[in-house]
Amino acid sequence: MQPISTESRRPRRERAVRKAVSVSPAGLEGGQYRPLREADVLRIHLAALQVLERTGVEVMESECRTIFAAAGARVDAGLNRVYLPAAMVEHALKIANHDVVLHSRDGRSDLHLRDKRVHLGTGGAAVHVLDLESGALRESHLRDLFDIGRMVEQLENIHFYLRPVVARDVPNDDLDLNTFYACAAATTKHIMGGCYYPQKVAEVFRLGALLAGSAEQFAARPFFSFNLGYMVSPLRFAVETVETLTAAVRIGMPVALVSAPQAGATGPATLAGTLVQVLAEELAGITYVQLLRPGHPLLMGGMPLVTDLRTGSMIGGCAELALMNAAAAQLAHHYSLPIYNSCGITESKLPDVQAGFEKGLTSAVTALAGAQYNHHAAGMLESLLTVAYENYVIDDDINAQVMRLVRGIEVTEETLALDTIHEVCTDGPGHYLGHPDTIARMNSEFQYPHTAHRGSRRDWEEAGALDMRERARITARSLLQTSWPQTITAEQDAQVRAEFNILLPRAVMAPGSA
């Protein structure tokens, strides 16, 4: 047997570095991890139905109560509570849309959310940014939405763009439309965002129509959607958000029904109890949407969070959150509905070791559970209060590895490699490094990182001995200097600015602008 040279295993400085590409594309089917037994899923389902029929939901909005009452729900006007019979909920689940697609602008990165097809993307409504140059904490701005989006357009393991920050330099009355516009100017990937005022829903739809070419074209392939926190846990419909939800459904915009009880604070201290509550809240929302517009595209948005009972703070980077969000995915699969799930949260204030392990833990678990729409999976820090540009680069690397886990191990006659093993061990050099099968599979079987360093200490030191955060900063700067997607033409821009108060300067969108 020929010895394997130690030099051959040492990365050579003069060797060209191969560009890391994803070997595990968006939409691979998960579901390998199931924290609940099937009997547990059924028990939680039946318990949630009991909550809706016995405890009910507080609904202050009169039109919403009227719609429920007309469909057969029992309404206590004095308490403003609505009690949903199990048959009504079961019917809503039956007629709901089980084949939801969230469209991209160009059709190349559509999100097909049926089955257990996994996608990882941005999320949050952070109010702070770690400045890429100074590292100082500052307020988030409209320009950040545009710049982060330009990075996301190039990061292939971030599959969608849910607006990550609140543009704190934009007046409230202009916020919704400017948020969607800044995102659309940066990326062709599907864009999801909030809508703070019901009357703004039509404006966002109109923006989509102008960018798509017509209202009919946008309605056929809406590349905008809303995530709406319609539920104030425990079990209360949020008045103004329900009005926004009603407007969004009636105009035809896809919606994620967001309910986020914190176990121990706005949900029971037991994980099972919080799952019962969040499911009851989701079923109430699903039923309401089906009463408005049967078959309307929606995502179950149950994303249970955790309370650190020592401090009362919301916690996201923990095993309990991963468990509950994976279980929420299982519950959604029980109904064949897509889940809007949460992962990639960290309590760390910096892109450090704590951030890495908390993000990796939660993202791996929810993806392996087969959650279809995993938001917060890029960029977030400080319990969703802050983002960092370099973290999008780091999290793109994490997401690539997570998707490789989801892809799993292919076992076929060819991959069992019996002939290769025999050839190497009987007639070959006793190792597989130069074998044609190894060469053929090196860029398809293995996921290589963009930013994580796998070379020798000598190479690392000669490259400046930079840690991963510093390397990610270099990549982030490069992306911002070179990524100018030009997703909105000058003619479209002029049309939009003629109708709306767009605050992102056109000059900022030009390649090479500072």
Calpha distance 351→397 (Å, rounded): 13
9-13: long-range pairs with CB below 8 Å, 24+: 10/456, 11/454, 11/455, 11/456, 11/459, 13/459, 13/462
Closest by CA position to 92, among listed 290, 256, 249, 282: 290
The residue behind tokens 């469909």 is 71
Q: Which pLDDT value is given to residue 514?
A: 64
Q: Which pLDDT value is given to residue 347?
A: 98
CA atoms within 13 A on the CB side of 293: 15
Q: CA-CA-CA-CA torsion for 282, 288, 294, 296, nearest 10 degrees?
A: -60
Burial (CB < 10 A; 0-12, 13-18, 19+), residue 401, is middle
pLDDT tens, the chain, 514 aa long: 444 444 444 444 333 444 567 899 999 999 999 999 999 999 999 999 999 999 999 999 999 999 999 999 999 999 999 999 999 999 999 999 999 999 999 999 999 999 999 999 999 999 999 999 999 999 999 999 999 999 999 999 999 999 999 999 999 999 999 999 999 999 999 999 999 899 999 999 999 999 999 999 999 999 999 999 999 999 999 999 999 999 999 999 999 999 999 999 999 999 999 999 999 999 999 999 999 999 999 999 999 999 999 999 999 999 999 999 999 999 999 999 999 999 999 999 999 999 999 999 999 999 999 999 999 999 999 999 999 999 999 999 999 999 999 999 999 999 999 999 999 999 999 999 999 999 999 999 999 999 999 999 999 999 999 999 999 999 999 999 999 999 999 999 999 999 999 999 999 999 987 6
C-alpha distance from residue 402 to each of 28, 33, 390, 408, 425 (Å): 11, 13, 19, 10, 33
Q: Would you say the C-alpha torsion 238, 208, 141, 393 has a positive or negative sign?
A: positive
Burial (CB < 10 A; 0-12, 13-18, 19+), residue 22, is middle
Calpha distance 353→191 (Å, rounded): 30
Cβ within 8 Å of residue 461, ≥6 positions away = none
At 227, which amino acid appears? N
Q: Which pLDDT value is given to residue 22?
A: 85
Q: Which pLDDT value is given to residue 513?
A: 79
Q: Which pLDDT value is given to residue 15?
A: 38
Alpha-carbon Rg for the chain, nearest whole angstrom, is: 24
Helix (H, G, I), strand (E, B) or coil at 271: helix
CATH T-level fold of 94-407: TIM Barrel (3.20.20)
- Render 202-222 in DSSP notation, one character per residue: HHHHHHHHHHHSSHHHHHHS-
Closest by CA position to 108, among listed 148, 71, 149, 160: 160
Cis peptide before 304 (omega within 30 of 0): no
The residue behind tokens 């599959």 is 159
Closest by CA position to 57, among listed 200, 239, 210: 239
The residue behind tokens 């990061």 is 155
Structural domain boundaries of the chain? 94-407
